[in-house]
Amino acid sequence: MTDPTDTLVNGDRIELRFPARGDLIVLARLVTSAISARAGFDIEELEDLRLAVGELCLLALHGSDALHGDLCLELTVLGDAIVVVCTLERAAAADVTGPEGDEIALLSEQILDALVDEHGRESRDGSVRAWLRKRRGGHAE
Amino acid sequence: MDQEFQIEERAGTAPPVIVVSGEIDVATAPQLRECLHRVIAQGEATIVLDLLGVTFLDSTALGVLVGALKRCREAGGDLHLVVADPRIVKIFEITGLTNVFTIADSLQAAGPS
């Protein structure tokens, strides 16, 4: 029998905020794994989400300054889906992804296209917001 | 916790073999880039990169591999990858890079002697 305290249900939301540094993206991946498991995603979907959220953070950081700003990750269970929003706040211009930055952003987009149902990225008022939505058992490559 | 990232250069093989294990992401990919660029700068145009122990790989890692592949080909050689984990193979497949890299599923198949 499933312990109700181990599961997440419709409307549950978890937030994680950390300094916007590439070496801390592992935290976003770890939290995503834990949340996805509690939201009922299977192992393969959980691995997909772990990779996708890492790419989401990279897209938010693309063109930003690694030494300033915070990354805020919001994971919300909505019905049979999880919605993840990654917001980069108070960022300045620079790049954390190295000399292959633009190429990496294209690869991130390709990976997200394949692994999640919907995703997007927008910049507004000095913040960058990247988001994804993935349904349980709902995405075929 | 995640497996620690490690790079090992194996001496005495032709082409040279670089063995990577753990997670290759935005935090660790620069170490891989530095290692590959150094080996190429030493005159090795063809390299075998053993990724059998890699447990996670993201777009920054792919970017480093594509950059190194370009350098190898400019020098007249190639970058051969050894990948067996289906989760890692899947990342190359969804980005179309299985058509770009020479990928083997074992070190023997990759051909170092």
Compare all CA atoms of chain B with the CA of A31 and give the residue at the minimum distance. Answer: B1
Q: Across the interface, do B63 and A25 touch by the CB < 8 Å criterion?
A: no
How high is the pLDDT of residue B110?
86
Rounded to whole angstroms, the Cα distance separating A92 from A67 reads 9
- Closest partner residue to B94 (CB to CB) among A26, A103, A114 is A114
Give the residue from A120, A27, A45, A130 showing the smallest Cα distance to A82.
Answer: A45
A23: phi then psi, degrees, rounded to nearest 5: -70, -10
ipTM of the complex: 0.90
Residue A140 has pLDDT above 50, yes or no: no
Range of the domain at A59: 10-135
Residue A1 resides in a domain: no
The enclosing domain of A103 has a CATH number of 3.30.565.10
Domain boundaries, chain B: 6-110
**Residue A95 half-sphere exposure toward CB, CA atoms < 13 A:** 12
In a domain, A43, yes or no: yes
The reported pTM is: 0.89
Question: Chain B: residue nearest A95 by CA?
Answer: B26
Q: How confident is the model at residue A10 (pLDDT cuts 50, 70, 90)?
A: confident
With a cut of 70, which residues of chain B have pLDDT below it? 1-3, 112-113
Phi, psi of B41 (to 5 degrees): -65, -25
In a domain, A141, yes or no: no
pLDDT tens sequence across A85-100 = 999 876 555 555 555 6
Q: In CATH, which of 3.40.50.1950, 3.30.750.24, 3.40.50.720, 3.10.129.10 is domain B6-110?
A: 3.30.750.24
Q: Residue A78: which H helix or E strand, with range?
A: strand A70-78
